[in-house]
Structure 1
Amino acid sequence: MATPGTPFLGLALHTTTPQLGLSIKNITTKEQHTAVWDLGRGLSAELHCYLQDFIQPYHWQDVAFLGVAKGPGGFTGTRLGVVTARTLAQQLEIPLYGISTLAAIAFRVAQDNLDQAIAVYLPARRGAVFGAIYQITTTGVKSLVPDQLFTPEAWADCQQNFADLQVIEPPETLGDTAAEILSLAQQQWQLDPQGPWGAVVPFYGQHPVHR
């Protein structure tokens, strides 16, 4: 049991699309709750209200650490989520962990498939793709090819460098991977309990990479 006054919650935000995903976990009991809302353009105006309602019946002082999807994703939503999480972490004086949107997808699909190379991608503008290759480990995910913007040809060439590669199709929705954002943030928190909020910045992937 958590002692009185000891924070015992983990909280994660996912706002890289117009869909808001929130996940909260009681570290002591391992109870976890995740919710998703399709807010569209109302995301920026309504995020704080949804956050305030979602955390009930707990209090902000109960939160031990935060996780946030840092992108890739839409510019406005990604920035909003990261800025909100940074502000909360600074005010509450708690650690914050920025988690790749692609890493969360890989972890959701293949978290029980240790050491498998996982290729994850999302569509980007002008026919490009956001892509990365991860390996699932006992402590989370290991980046084999970091998140970046590829042309379709460069992404195909990149995959040729790996044998026995599992390619994950883009999911229809991303908000519900807030649960994986939280799980990966908790693993980082256990390894590094500091998690300075100032080190978490959005990843927009603006510059294409040609290989």
Structure 2
Amino acid sequence: MSWLLALHSSSSALGVGLRDLDADPGSAGSGAGAGDQLKEFPLGRDLSGALLDCVEAVLPARQWPRLARLAVATGPGGFTGTRLSVVMARSLAQQLQIPLDGAGSFLLIARRLGVDRPTWLVQELPRRGVVAGLYGPDAAALGGMGEWRAPRLYADRQAVQALEPQAPLAPAEVAVIQDVAQLLELSALAHRQALPGPWEPVLPQYPTAPVAV
């Protein structure tokens, strides 16, 4: 078996996904494949001390040399959680010399929701504003879903909608298991297309300053 491992820690829970890349690709669709392993760990602030143990609960370290590709959600999300999973994924990719795919958590939500027209995904930040990104179908993008405007901080919803008045607003709410499934599927698609996946450009997203008005 050649494994694909996916990490998602853009919310208070850690999501870990595992797929056998040697399995029949026809068994995978727009989400979880038939043989995928998907686990959610509600760690909260304990992520820093439990990340390694949770990953090993899905794929023991002795099997990591059989990893063929990695994927990680790059946020927006909590500063510590997103940073830790991205650092781990980058380190493994560098040491094992395998491809790493980074995907924004909002993009994964857009894929899960099946967004069929330009749509703002919006996350409220109490007393700070809203983080919003614009997503919609894009035939040129991997998997057919494009990020038309990257997530960033806005003063309020009105400032967001003023940029694209025709685009509806939808909540950017993480569903860990489903979003990890989307991450696996997107990375498996990159594998089937033999995309390179360099680890260097995969960085966490922190779109909280400056405020866009």
TM-score interval (norm. to shorter): 0.7 to 0.9
User: In the TM superposition, what whole-angstrom CA distance separates every residue of 1:118-156 from its partner, at most 9, and x where no partner exists?
Assistant: 321222352412211112346322121122122213112
Task: State the alpha-carbon separation in 2 of the partners of residues 19 and 35 from structure 1.
Answer: 10
RMSD in angstroms over aligned alpha carbons?
2.2
Task: Find the partner of 1:199 among 198, 201, 204.
Answer: 201
Residues 188 and 132 of structure 1: CA distance in aligned 2, closer, same or farther (over 3 Å): farther
Structure 2 counterpart of 1:4: none
- What is the letter of the counterpart of residue 134 of structure 2? I
Is contact 1:151–1:208 with CA below 8 Å preserved after alignment?
no
Aligned to 1:117: 118
**2:9/2:82 contact within 8 Å kept:** yes
CA distance in 2 between partners of 1:192 and 1:126 (Å)? 44
Q: What's the counterpart of residue 59 of structure 1? A: 63
The match for 1:18 is 12
Is 1:151 matched with 2:155?
Answer: yes
- Which whole-Å CA distance do the structure 2 matches of 1:196 and 1:24 have between them? 20
Q: Give 1:58 shift.
A: 8.2
Q: Aligned pair count?
A: 198
Q: Which runs of 4+ in 1 moved over 6 A?
A: none
* Cα separation, partners in 2 of 1:72 and 1:57, compared to 1, 3 Å: closer
- Match of residue 82, structure 1, among 86, 89, 101: 86
Residue pair 1:122, 1:130 contacting (<8 A) in 2 also:
yes
Paired residue for 2:129?
A: 128
Contact 1:23 1:178 (8 Å CA) reproduced: yes
Is residue 2:112 matched to residue 1:108?
yes
Could you tell me which runs of 5 or more consecutive residues in structure 2 were left unpaired when the two chains were aligned: 28-34
Residue pair 2:37, 2:58 contacting (<8 A) in 1 also: no
State the TM-score, normalized to the length of structure 1: 0.84
Q: CA deviation at 1:79?
A: 0.6
Counterpart pick for 1:92 among 92, 96, 100? 96
Structural mapping, 1:161-180, within 5 Å? 162=166, 165-171=167-173, 173-176=174-177, 177-180=179-182
SS of equivalent to 2:127: helix
Shift in CA distance, 46/86, structure 1 to aligned 2, threshold 3 Å = same
